[in-house]
Chain A
Amino acid sequence: MSESFGLFKGLKVTFKELFRKSVTDKYPKEFREKPQRFHGRHVLNRYEDGMEKCIGCELCAGVCPAQCIYVRGEDNPEDEPVSPGERYGFIYEINMLRCIYCALCVEACPTEAITMTSLFEMSVANRSEAIFDKSVLVVNDDGTPNTHEEQTKLTRFEELQTSDGWMRATSSNGNPNFQNVVNWSGSLGVGKKDPEKGQSLEEE
């Protein structure tokens, strides 16, 4: 074997890789399609009449393994109720720096108030901005998630339109046959996802 041949043998890998399709994306100019069950940031949903779904029951805060949720309930004002029923979420804060995106809060929620979106661009300039309160978490009047202004440049409009709603592992209304059934009730309807078949059905 001559020494010069060895050089070409080594470069063969280089040339092969040179013409292979790149695995990286030109983010943020290009976006990659996210998996359907992607765990992004949370939103607090509303009913069709604009009422907030959150009743301030603190079950999400109780179940959170990272203890990043702080909720306080309060008596619903009689003349201008925030949510149906006696109680509403008066304070709702999530520390996004602490959150581990496990979605246990989504599972615990009795009213499907908190769900996860596929949004993940949440860079902030200081730590206190990373604590999302109700002004950020509650969805807009049209059902799209509220965003920090800086993020808007990074966020695709189509993504906002499909980000309300997330499939849960359990049915919130206690229906044991929830698989393949749309459980999403009384939501503003943005991004209502098709029911998944569930693992047992997909295998068939």
Chain B
Amino acid sequence: MSENIKINVNGNQIESTPNKLLIEACEDSGIHIPRFCWHKRLDPVGMCRMCLVEIETPRGKMLVPSCTTEVTDEMVVDTESEVVKKAQEGVLEFLLINHPLDCPICDKAGECPLQDQTMAYGPGESRFVEEKRHFEKPISISEIILLDRERCILCARCTRFSDEISGDPLIEFIQRGNKTEVNTFPNEPFKSYFSGNTVQICPVGALTSTSYRFKARPWDLKSVRSTCNGCPVGCSTELNSSQNKMLRILGVDNDSVNQGWLCDKGRYNFEYLNSEFRLKNPLKKIDNELKETSVKEIYTELSELISDRNTNINFLIGTNSTNEDYVAFNEFAKNFPTTNQTFYLNDDYLYAGFFEQDINRATIDDLNNSEAIVIWAEDLKENLPVLYLRVRQAVKNGVKLIVFGHSNSTLEDIADFYYSEDIVSENFEIIKDISKLKGIKEHVKDKNVTAIIGKSTPYQLDEYLDKLVSYLVENSNSKIMNAFSSGNTFGAINNLDNVKNLRDFTKNVSSENTDLLFIVGSDPIGRSVFSNEIHRIIEDIDNVVCLDLFLHETSELCNYIIPTSSTLGEKEGTFTNIEFRTSRIDKLVPSPGQSLSDWEFISGLSNFCNFINNIDSLDGLNELAYQDFDNQDSPSFKNLDKPSNFDGIINDYQPNVSTMPNETITSQYFVGKKLYGDNITIRYSDSISLLGAKQFIEASESTIEKLNLSSGECTLKQNGHQVSANYVVNNKLADGVIFIPQNRRNFNRFDFSETIEISPNQSKEALNVN
């Protein structure tokens, strides 16, 4: 590392490191320089000129933009001189020439950098009496983003974000001079999975989101810091509510996880909390009809069923609960003989994973610090979107990227080596010797490697993943990240004993060996590839208790339904992410009706059955979850509530997965998940509900020709079940591979292990579906 250098700012000596930007060096020492275009996570561009400061040069004092000037030793800087103040006033006056004064109706007003900095650094009065520039007021550039070009101050934050960070530059400057405006390309909407971030970093109200439009003003928002439980990346979020209604989710800059970014699903999938269709009262099925009942009555009936403790109980647990909930279930299950109870996680993709002692675990930051990244997992962009951003960032920093399989086709453009077709077959089998591959020889062997390993499709064999990982472990200094992709999977496998997956559920569970089935926050019938089998099994079992937010395909079949609080903003707890970082989930809004947290229900049931109950408080559960850890670094509430631990604490868990390995390939299709699906929560989140509604299949051009699909639409048929869908041309898929998204409406009812008849429809133009 290079030596620290000293610079003089406003007469004070401050220390900095070479090659640092002046604005950043000043920020680190507590000297604020006003700015609009500069953002810590984006490349500097020097668009707005608000950060002008005076530095001493051999030719005298000179104004320079501090966001594009690197510090040098003995630099003398003045950020508060008269010249600087005059420059700032001038810049603001020019910015405000065309900026409309519609602050009273602008969503940004109150937290607007332009407002704040005009108050702090601007001229007191306007000299401008002419008519301002006018554009059509907000134009919708995608389903969730609105653009008001009048308000734009051309800072290029949104365009730089789309270009550098998310890699889908769909928003750009058009025209020149005083006619410059930011806009999307004609007939091409701003269809990015990360578009919500541009709204958050916009320094004015030019980009706003439809879900927050006119809902509240910043000064009447309550907020807490929490963790997103949408996928195992566990981004740090700030939840905002007003009048006890969740209104907005913002990304918090957690340096080692999400760096301030969120995916649009994590950001906008919250409106379901306020949905009128939320379950409010416990329901019981009498004569095939659901009737309202009381929790006490359900307790009474269940306690009769289980109090002899020889009942066979199975749990089908979703990934949307907190670690404390999982501990509660685990403790409850200990009341029964171990042979009588099993936990099944609501995840098609769960498998044993690589958690052995001799395998190094990777953190997300390791992506940046390694020499190469090897990926063989589900489509990261669709399933772990912020991890995809971190991979992109690492590649930008010069890390080599090696991608196996055709599931990560969005990474092909930036991958140094993309092993599809010839090396990884259409059924995800490695058909060549790994050690002879050029990319592996050059960049992996004996190098520092971070590997992201997971199943690309539920039907993939475990065997080849084992082969790749054992090669990496033996031949390189590798760290492995297990890419499970749904919710709090890592919290579940840490806190539940012997977790199995949905495939095991279909094989092991039947009405003969199950007296009572608990279904917790999961809709396997609605989204699993084993939907039909699970439907049959659940229908057969006599007593099914369901804890959920909504009535959906699975909960409708249950005998008892308990309304629960959502993990998003309605309960407290902890969340464990993909790198075993545990962070806090916090409560902001009350849950509707008689909703209970999962642990509250289970604790009440334990009490009712006179079981030994050590799960009677949230703090107690939290202690129970982390009792094996050293007190200092255990992610207990006490430790996590210290400001230095807000970003979470990484711990060394030993997960407990005991799935049966998948030994036969049973599907000829490439089945995967898309970011937006037909999930119940997305269906009831109005602003994004349409994004997951389109039904489509993907295939390369030649495959589509072989299928004789010449028009834009096709029909998928199997055993009388029929879905009409669009097809999307994706030439990055290998020949013969047909991608079917399992989480789009009605696709769950196909049996992917059998042939689906795909026939052309009447002619319509091919739609470009995201």
Please list the residues of chain A having a beta carbon within 8 angstroms of any beta carbon in chain B. 55-59, 61-62, 72-75, 85-87, 110-111
Contacts and interface: CB of A to CB of B under 8 A. Distances in A.
A85 B105 contact: yes
Contacts of B213: 75
Given A57-B105, A74-B214, A75-B214, A86 B138 contact: yes
Contacts of A73: 105, 214
22 contacts: A55-B104, A55-B105, A56-B214, A57-B217, A58-B216, A58-B217, A59-B104, A62-B217, A62-B219, A62-B220, A72-B216, A73-B105, A73-B214, A74-B214, A75-B213, A75-B214, A85-B102, A85-B105, A86-B105, A86-B137, A87-B214, A111-B104
A171 to B, nearest CB: 13
A131 to B, nearest CB: 15
Nearest to A55: B105
A86 B138 CA distance: 9
Contacts of B216: 58, 72
Contact of B220 (A55, A56, A61): A61
A33 to B, nearest CB: 36
Residue from B137, B138, B214 whose CB has the most chain A CB atoms within 10 Å: B214
A74 B210 CA distance: 11
A110 B104 contact: yes
Interface string B199-221: 00000000000000111110110
Central interface residue in B102, B104, B219, by most chain A CB within 10 Å: B104
Nearest to A108: B104
Contacts of B102: 85
Given A55-B104, A86-B138, 16 more contacts: A55-B105, A56-B105, A57-B104, A57-B105, A58-B216, A58-B220, A61-B220, A62-B220, A72-B216, A73-B214, A74-B214, A75-B214, A85-B102, A86-B105, A86-B214, A110-B104
A163 to B, nearest CB: 25
A62 B103 CA distance: 14
A133 to B, nearest CB: 16
A54 B220 CA distance: 19
A58 B243 CA distance: 14
Nearest to A63: B219
A15 B217 CA distance: 64
A78 to B, nearest CB: 11
Contacts of A58: 216-217, 220
- The interface centre, meaning the residue of A57, A62, A74, A85 with most chain B CB atoms within 10 A of its CB, is A57
Nearest to A85: B105
Contacts of A86: 105, 137-138, 214
B105 A87 contact: yes
B111 to A, nearest CB: 13
Nearest to B148: A86
A195 to B, nearest CB: 23
A187 to B, nearest CB: 18
In the A-B complex, the 6 residue pairs with the closest CB atoms: A57-B104, A73-B214, A87-B105, A110-B104, A58-B217, A87-B214
Interface string B128-149: 0000000001100000000000
Interface in B207-244: 213-217, 219-220
A61 B220 CA distance: 9
Contacts of A87: 105, 214
A110 B216 CA distance: 17
Q: Which of A72, A73, A110 has the most C-beta atoms of chain B within 10 angstroms of its own C-beta?
A: A73
A2 to B, nearest CB: 76
A62 B215 CA distance: 15
Contacts of B214: 56, 73-75, 86-87
Nearest to A74: B214
B209 to A, nearest CB: 13
A88 B394 CA distance: 47
A56 B105 CA distance: 7
A120 to B, nearest CB: 29
Contacts of B137: 86
A59 B102 CA distance: 13
A86 B217 CA distance: 15
A44 to B, nearest CB: 15
A62 B242 CA distance: 13
A75 B105 CA distance: 10
Nearest to B214: A73
B566 to A, nearest CB: 23
Nearest to A59: B104
A110 B101 CA distance: 11
B149 to A, nearest CB: 14
B106 to A, nearest CB: 9
A61 B213 CA distance: 18
A185 B217 CA distance: 27
Contacts of A55: 104-105
Nearest to A83: B105
B124 to A, nearest CB: 10
A72 B138 CA distance: 20
A86 B105 CA distance: 8
Nearest to B210: A75
